[in-house]
Each structure stands twice: as C-alpha cells, then as structure tokens.
Amino acid sequence: MKTAVVFFPIMALTTSVSLAGSVAAPYEIGTWRGFRPAAISYTFDDGCSNQFAVAIPMFDARGFKLTLFSVVGATSGMFPGWSKLQSAAAKGHEIASHTLTHPNLGQLPDSQQTNELRDSLAAINANVSGQKCLTLAYPYCVEANEAITSQ
C-alpha cells in the first residue's frame, strides 16, 4: 500500500491505493467512483469571500466539486449567508459543518460541544436543500468529544 500526500495552500491531494475486499464474480468492488485508482478532495473552511467569488467559479469551469466547511452561526462573522451556500449546493458542491460559531471544541464543556455540533447540522439541513450535511471539520483541528461527535 502506497500513500502520497502533497499539500497546496488551499487544497490537499491524497492518493491512496488499497484493497477494499472481494466479492464473487461477476461483481467488483470499486474503491473510488468509476473504479478510478485515486480521489481528490478539495476542502475550504470558514466561508471566506474569495471561496464564492473565485474558487467556486474556477472549480465550476473545470467540472470539479468542493466541500465548504461552513460556520453557520449568523453572529460568527464567518457566516457567508444561506443564499451563497444554497447556490453552491445547487451546483453540486458539498456544504458541511465547521460548527455553529467556530470555537475550540476542546475547551468547551460537553453541553456546549453538543450545541455547536447539533445546531450547525440542523441549520445546514434546514437551509440547504438537495443535500444532507454529512461531514464535519473541527475548528483549529481540535477534536470534540468523540461520543458527542458520533451522534
């Protein structure tokens, strides 16, 4: 198994080859969509204005999709607005959680961690149609309580 990781300022490219298992013929298991040997995930955090003005049009022109890890608390200062997020989702980009207000989750009691994660998920699901929020990026790369996150 080989893994190569190259970091760019706004994206991470990960190539991985792995065996997903086996099934009886005539079936095959594809590790990546279309049985491709690798996948690229483009992710953006914090709702910066250039993500909407520059990155999304650039990716759309090339037929690529991205994930926007969005801080959706209207008072957070990072909230891009539901119309921008809905427009991105309508073009096939994933709108994912980056919590409600972008706190350091490791410094919060469990009840506040629960509120940050639950309320962000609920807000995205209520305001962005055509998708479900499935992905979370921790602010500051600090993990929350795993039991709370798994809920």
Question: Which range, of 23-32, 57-66, 86-95, averages the lowest pLDDT?
Answer: 23-32
Q: What does the angle CA 73 – CA 8 – CA 135 come to, to the nearest 5 degrees? A: 35
Domain 42-150 has CATH 3.20.20.80: no
Note the pTM of the prediction, 2 decimals.
0.77
- Report the C-alpha dihedral over residues 5, 135, 97, 104, rounded to 10 degrees: -60
pLDDT of residue 21: 62
Average pLDDT, the chain: 86
pLDDT at position 13 over 80: no
Mean pLDDT of 103-110: 96
CA distances from 146 to 4, 24, 98, 109, 131 (A): 28, 36, 15, 13, 24
pLDDT of residue 147: 94
How far is the C-alpha of 94 from the C-alpha of 130, rounded, in Å? 10
Q: Where are the domains of the chain?
A: 1-40, 42-150
